[in-house]
Amino acid sequence: MTETVDPTRWVCPRPLRDHSAVMLGHGGGGVLSGELVEHLFLPAFAAAPDDARMPAGALADSAVLEVGGVRLAFSTDSYVVRPLFFPGGSIGELAVHGTINDLACSGAVPVALSAGFILEEGLDLEVLGRVAEAMGRAAARAGVRLVTGDTKVVERGLADGLYVNTSGIGVVPPGVDIRPERARPGDRVLVSGPIGEHGVAVLSVRENLEFGGDVRSDTAALHGMVAAMLAAAPGGVHALRDPTRGGLATTLCEIAAASGTGVEFTESAVPVPPVVEAACAFLGLDPLHVANEGKIVAFVAPDEADAALAAMRAHPAGHEAAIIGTVTADHPGLVVARTAFGTTRVVDRPLGEQLPRIC
């Protein structure tokens, strides 16, 4: 790709690692992704992370901004998963549920979604039709409307069938203030169910592997679960995030970093399905790094943690929810796991892309 650019040398406002080109890892949700956002996008968009005018969560999951007296959550995600269809769903469900969940993690009630398609010339219209229908069904089930859209077509070979962006808006109810920064020492860390299913399901079809068990993507809309938690534990829900790219480990690290706290959790308390464990052992992956598309991690005040857990478990997608750990004032920014051997280990974000194009 040759591009004519301004002949003056461009310099990244904050130096990036030793590389000059985009790598797959820049899309992995890990360290490289974070660096791209903080060193390149934020300065370019003239809104440094310490800019007080920057809405909470800006350039991360969803931004919350006051518009005409209403607190709106606004979020965007592009979906490039390969293949387009996998056990348990398709890019269509992912695109609807993923953006709904980003809104829900601000405590918002999702209202409307947009859909922006980039299609590859030659794509079978049947494939497009099935994806669009999956989106329509997922939105209807979630009670959210697809209200505006756009379609672009690029020449054969310049996309991979189809990519789709969904953006979403939701309303944050009065009094609700859920942000990664709000996690505090003493909070309990909850996860809404077994981890790793989405990543392993996609890999199983992509690599044509059998893992000795049925594994399906957990893709699901979780705004109902969040609403139930907020009703059950009013004021106690401090931070929420859906552990997608980069998995549970990345989510815990991000919230520890954002809130300046430490996180301690017990490995054996994290629900990992046997098939995910087997697949990860076979592929050399850490289940804590594998993407989920229908789970929520919650940081909840200790006296309301049981009520929030009960609300999670009462939701169809949360039967196996568990309390896995605690927030501590020790080791700010660090996430520490207690292993089955009674030792501890530091849990880190993956550097780049463990599983490219997982969502």
- Going by C-alpha positions, the residue among 205, 207, 225, 224 that lies closest to residue 215 is 205
Distance between first and last Cα of the chain: 25
Q: Strands 162-171 and 262-266: what pairing?
A: unpaired
19 binds its own copies (CB under 8 A): yes
Are the C-beta atoms of residues 71 and 175 closer than 8 Å to each other? no
121 binds its own copies (CB under 8 A): yes
Q: Which is nearer to its own copies, 65 or 283 (CB)?
A: 65
Measuring CA to CA, how many Å separate 226 from each of 74, 117, 297?
A: 17, 29, 11
5 binds its own copies (CB under 8 A): yes
Instruction: Please tell me what DSSP assigns to residue 315.
Output: S
24 binds its own copies (CB under 8 A): yes
Minimum distance from residue 7 beta carbon to its own copies (Å):
11
**Count of residues binding its own copies (CB under 8 A)?**
102
User: What is the x/- site pattern for its own copies, positions 164-203, by CB under 8 A?
Assistant: -x-x-x-x--------------------------------
User: What is the x/- site pattern for its own copies, positions 125-144, by CB under 8 A?
Assistant: xxxxxx-xx-xx--xx----
75 binds its own copies (CB under 8 A): yes
174 exposure class (CB count in 10 Å sphere: 0-12, 13-18, 19+) = exposed
Minimum distance from residue 107 beta carbon to its own copies (Å):
14
Measuring CA to CA, how many Å separate 165 from each of 96, 135, 145, 249, 259?
A: 10, 12, 15, 25, 29
Q: Which is nearer to its own copies, 242 or 353 (CB)?
A: 353
**Which positions from 76 through 105 interact with its own copies, judged by CB under 8 A?**
76-80, 83-85
Give the tokens for residue 291: 């993407």
- Going by C-alpha positions, the residue among 220, 188, 160 that lies closest to residue 306 is 188
302 binds its own copies (CB under 8 A): no
Minimum distance from residue 330 beta carbon to its own copies (Å):
33
Q: Which is nearer to its own copies, 117 or 265 (CB)?
A: 117
- The Cα–Cα gap between 323 and 356 comes to 30
Q: Which is nearer to its own copies, 140 or 281 (CB)?
A: 140
330 binds its own copies (CB under 8 A): no
Query: Judged by CB under 8 A, which stretch of 147-155, 178-186, 270-278, 307-315 contacts its own copies?
Result: 147-155
Minimum distance from residue 104 beta carbon to its own copies (Å):
15
Q: Which is nearer to its own copies, 31 or 337 (CB)?
A: 31
Q: Which is nearer to its own copies, 68 or 342 (CB)?
A: 68
**Which positions from 26 through 65 interact with its own copies, judged by CB under 8 A?**
26-28, 33, 36-37, 40-41, 44-47, 54-55, 57-63, 65
Rg (CA), the chain: 20
Please report, to the nearest 10 degrees, the dihedral formed by the alpha carbons of residues 254, 259, 264, 269 taken in order: -60
115 binds its own copies (CB under 8 A): yes
Helix (H) or strand (E) holding 9: none
Please report, to the nearest 10 degrees, the dihedral formed by the alpha carbons of residues 152, 32, 106, 187 taken in order: 160
147 binds its own copies (CB under 8 A): yes
- The Cα–Cα gap between 253 and 95 comes to 25
119 binds its own copies (CB under 8 A): yes
Are the C-beta atoms of residues 93 and 134 closer than 8 Å to each other? yes
User: What is the x/- site pattern for its own copies, positions 222-261, by CB under 8 A?
Assistant: ----------------------------------------
